[in-house]
Amino acid sequence: MNSTIEELKNRFEQALIAAFGQDLAGTDPMLVPASNPKFGDYQSNAALSLTKKLGKPPRAIAEQIIQNLDIADICQPPQIAGPGFINLTIQPAYLEGQLSQIQTNSRLGVPTAKHLQRVVIDFSSPNIAKEMHVGHLRSTIIGDSIARILEFQGYDVLRLNHVGDWGTQFGMLIVHLLEAEPVSDYDLLDLGDLVQFYREAKKRFDSDEDFKERSRKAVVALQSGDQEAQIAWKILCDKSRREFQIIYDLLDVRLIERGESFYNPLLPLVVEDLEKLGLVVENAGAKCIFLEGFTNKEGQPLPLIVQKSDGGYNYATTDLASLRYRIQEDGAKRIIYVTDAGQANHFSQFFQVARKAGWIPDDVAVVHVPFGLVQGEDGKKLKTRSGETVRLRDLLDEAIARARTDLENRLKEEGRQETAEFIANVAQVVGIGAVKYADLSQNRTSNYIFSYDRMLNLQGNTAPYMLYAYVRIQGISRKGGIDFEHLDPDAKIILAEETELVLAKHILQLSEVISQVEVDLLPNRLCQYLFELSQKFNQFYDRCPVLKAEKNQQTSRLVLCDLTAKTIKLGLSLLGIPVLERM
């Protein structure tokens, strides 16, 4: 099923051809949702944009388009406004028909995307032996939502965790580990707090020249496949991996780990190929690539270093190798990197190098999806009360604990009794959902202030508000003894009241929103859509009796309720948030 806007676009294209000839085939009808409901639902600016080409006044062009426009089954007669806008208002009968169609459709009428290719999403990607921080939390939440949306559209999504599991920092960690425990005892080894372990190693590295030298040797040993070094490295990775997994389980996020070490054997060839292409310039022993548009404050060119003077490779070299691998071996047609905006330069640099090298075919898109910082309520970097970095696990546990307190207070006020299992489940879904939703509902490019109070508020654009809207609708079915699963599939939908029409139109816009997110990768659009949906639902529910309505109207309104609930459930699932039947 085409979305309404798609269908209208098709009809406009036909009208343009009928009015002005084949020349205009493929012309963009410039159809957008109306800026104000008083202008109707959609507006086309085609007449204005064609004035020059056709050499006629826009109103005359608009007249001619309308004469050839066959949309009587969808819209009321089109209106020309202002200098030549064409305003369209959707007919209730059309909306009724569309709603009937999606009533029994598990995708709620959302079509799959047109060209179903492989998409790689590189997200989360924390660093081994370091704490996963809020930046990684954002990447995990945003990346997962984008993955869910593209998967829902039918794309073959490869969710890659590009963990930082390679590099010179492993030298000091390995030496610190080897000197603490004999290799034979590794099975029993408890590294305690890995972050503490990292700090200790770093301290020795910075203060002890001898240790530093041993660390350097350990890096070489690791890279040449030395068994002891390899075992130590694996231990460190395993231990980190288990820590990360706790967070992924809590967030219900799936990832395939393919860390930096995976591409290690491919790095020499990357540099060799770049050299063959004549892109590499040696500078004080380092292999550099100079690029347009990258200079330091003094205006000196800032090169991308692909191999250091000691022979070591860089973050960017690995990214170049992984880019090639993803295109050649994984067959990716779109590669999406979700990281903090601070890495924007890194991405535009290595994209530029890959382009110069001819490694990005025309049919492959590479995109950096940047996001802003998470700040504390003081507007500064998020810290604990004692001034330390916030551990993700503590942050998520705190959200769950607060959701539980809110719930227990509410239960007391309402005099309700619930089982311990119920309370634990609601607290978990609300707590985690609130953290995710708070992150996703902001335009990702801006910074946002982390506030438990705001994200757990039952009012406003929050997860609890959305979950509650869903629960409220399930309450209607319980109260009326109605099984939403068995509403008459042939029930006639009647849209008589203004609030019913407004709600119906909104429900039918889901596929437009999803195809927008497919393009601009901004999940906050979906949050905004869902928020407006529940507001429109509440307005409808305030004005229109449902259970007390007469029979036909009752069934029709129940279908509206059910479709609203299903849309919320589907929308939230695309944000990685499950619904609750009661809360």
Determine which helix (DSSP H) or strand (DSSP E) holds 514, and give its type and residue range.
helix 510-520
Answer yes or no: are the C-beta atoms of 502 and 540 closer than 8 Å: yes
Structure tokens at 230: 């390899």
User: If we measure between CA atoms, which residue out of 251, 239, 228, 109 comes closest to residue 178?
Assistant: 228
> What is the distance, to the nearest Å, from the Cα of residue 126 to the centroid of all Cα atoms in its chain?
17
Own/partner pairs, 51-55, CB within 8 angstroms, 24+ separation: 51/84, 54/20
186 or 315: CB nearest ligand ARG: 315
CB of 166 to ligand ARG, least distance (A): 10
> Quick one: 87 or 125, whose CB is closer to ligand ARG?
125
The C-alpha atoms of residue 59 and residue 79 are separated, in whole angstroms, by 11
> CB nearest ligand ARG: which residue?
125
Kindly tell me the sign of the dihedral angle through the C-alpha atoms of 211, 213, 218, 219.
positive
The residue (of 125 and 499) whose beta carbon lies closer to ligand ARG is: 125
The nearest distance, CB 324 to ligand ARG, in angstroms, is 13
Q: Which two tokens stand for residue 467?
A: 């979950």
User: Which CB sits closer to ligand ARG, 61 or 128?
Assistant: 128
Cβ at position 40, least distance to ligand ARG in Å: 45
Q: Residue 339 or residue 524: which is nearer to ligand ARG going by CB?
A: 339
Residue (39 or 325) nearer to ligand ARG, CB: 325
Alpha-carbon span 83 to 25, nearest angstrom? 24
Instruction: Tell the smallest beta-carbon distance from residue 2 to ligand ARG (Å).
Output: 37
**In the complex with ligand ARG, which residue's Cβ is closer, 271 or 549?**
271
Nearer to ligand ARG (CB atom), residue 71 or residue 132: 132
- Rounded to whole angstroms, the Cα distance separating 33 from 516 reads 13
Alpha helices in 128-226 (DSSP H): 134-152, 169-180, 194-207, 209-223
Q: Smallest gap, in angstroms, from Cβ of residue 365 to ligand ARG?
A: 16
CB of 371 to ligand ARG, least distance (A): 12
Instruction: Tell me the C-alpha distance between 184 and 164, whole Å.
Output: 26
180: its two tokens:
């603490």
Q: What SS3 string covers 415-472?
A: CCCCCHHHHHHHHHHHHHHHHHHHHHCCCCCCCEECCHHHHCCCCCCCHHHHHHHHHH
Tally the C-alpha atoms within 13 A of residue 319's C-alpha that lie toward its C-beta. Answer: 23
Q: Which is nearer to ligand ARG, 318 or 442 (CB)?
A: 318
Maximum separation of any 2 CA atoms in the chain, in Å = 87
Rounded least distance, CB 126 to ligand ARG, Å: 6
Spatial distance between the Cα atoms of 28 and 71, rounded to a whole number of angstroms: 17
Minimum CB separation from ligand ARG for residue 205, in Å?
Answer: 20
Pairing of the two strands 85-88 and 118-122: unpaired
Amino acid at 502: V
Calpha distance 213→215 (Å, rounded)? 5
Specify the residue, 122 or 439, whose C-beta has the smaller distance to ligand ARG.
122
Residues found near ligand ARG in the complex (CB under 6 A): 122, 125-127, 162, 164, 319, 337, 339
- What is the smallest separation between the CB atom of 255 and ligand ARG, expressed in angstroms? 12
Element (H, E) at 395: helix 392-414
Beta carbon of residue 354, minimum distance to ligand ARG (angstroms, whole number): 12
Q: Which residue has the tokens 């930096």?
A: 260
- Residue among 315 and 422 whose Cβ is closer to ligand ARG: 315
SS (H, E, C) 543-565: HCCCCCCCHHHHHHHHHHHHHHH
Q: Residue 439 Cβ, how far from ligand ARG at the closest point, in Å?
A: 17
Q: Of 351 and 468, which has the nearer Cβ to ligand ARG?
A: 351
Count CB atoms within 10 A of the CB of residue 271.
17
> Within 10 Å of residue 563's Cβ, how many Cβ atoms?
26
Contact 345, 295 (CB under 8 A): no
State the minimum distance, in angstroms, from the CB of residue 266 to ligand ARG.
14
Closest distance of CB 535 from ligand ARG, Å: 37
CB of 254 or CB of 410, closer to ligand ARG: 254
CB nearer ligand ARG, residue 64 or residue 317 = 317
